[in-house]
Amino acid sequence: MTEIENKLTIGTAPDSWGVWFAQDVQQIPWERFLDEVAESGYRWIELGPYGYLPTDPARLADELRQRGLKVSAGTVFTAFHRGIDQWDIAWEPARKVAELTAAMGGEHLVVIPAMWRDDVTGEAVEPGTLDSKQWTDLFEGHNRLGKVLLEEYGLNQQFHSHADSHVSAQQDIEYLLELTDPQYLNLCLDTGHAEYGGASSVELIRKYPERIGYLHLKQIDPKVLTTVREQDLTWAAANLAGVMIEPPRGLPDLREVIEAVEALNKPIFGIVEQDMYPVAFDVPLPIATRTRNYLLSCGSRTAVH
């Protein structure tokens, strides 16, 4: 990341355009997504779900180059708490994403743990808490993944705590950080998911400054979150209810988060990820532009380049 002079570099992701899947008729075409990212003033993106953007490195590189865009990270999903056999299940898709991310010059892989209940039906697919062996399996799986990603692809594993997963609350995130290897795993601090799970982004930044490796910047509507908790809504249902809100109208205070991150005095990405699936195609662009402008106003060493 030597070319990034500013300490916090703002980017965006397909998620902010309502993209959750590799293919879905409700999602904006990838060409329009890239065009609108460039139009809204961003220069860095994540790959999003593998297969949404072209997976041929030469073609993707050309499409990005035409629009002045670069890749900060790819994203994969894991379920290492379910046992040792999960390595074989996780590695093949992770390998594909790692190869494409590295080929595009990205340096990070955002890793999201499996959710314990179906995010559409709400049906529990497993218990919502882990026993000691499952925690150990989770830690060992991620340490192994991080080692392979770093040694074979030069990628840094950034663990993304997530709503309806086993790593969501403050104590769960801290437990993960305390018992994993900082060489192979650091935190993709998603401010929206942290708030959703009752965790404090600013407290995590100040308590674990060396473990904050990447950011997803978003806000939660506190009124909708109250409804989510009262009705025990799934993550997908919460999104449909409008739990994500355009900054600066929600929580946490992103100005306070950015000031805390800038105090770390290290280069770091802050990727805008406003979950909006499904969304009308004409909605994301103006939101993305306003959000970019707001975030750039929050810090003294924050930029898009």
Rounded CA-CA distance 192/219 in Å is 5
SS3 at position 245: strand
Rounded CA-CA distance 299/199 in Å is 22
Predicted TM-score (pTM) of the model is 0.96
Q: Could you tell me the two tokens for 58?
A: 């030469």
Alpha-helical segments (H) within 12-131: 30-39, 57-67, 86-103
All domains of the chain in start order, with CATH: 8-303 (3.20.20.150)
Element (H, E) at 70: strand 70-78
Rounded CA-CA distance 271/265 in Å is 18
Nearest to 105 by CA among 158, 153, 43, 39: 153
pLDDT, one tens digit for every residue, the chain (305 residues): 444 566 999 999 999 999 999 999 999 999 999 999 999 999 999 999 999 999 999 999 999 999 999 999 999 999 999 999 999 999 999 999 999 999 999 999 999 999 999 877 888 999 999 999 999 999 999 999 999 999 999 999 999 999 999 999 999 999 999 999 999 999 999 999 999 999 999 999 999 999 999 999 999 999 999 999 999 999 989 988 999 999 999 999 999 999 999 999 999 999 999 888 889 999 999 999 999 999 999 998 899 98
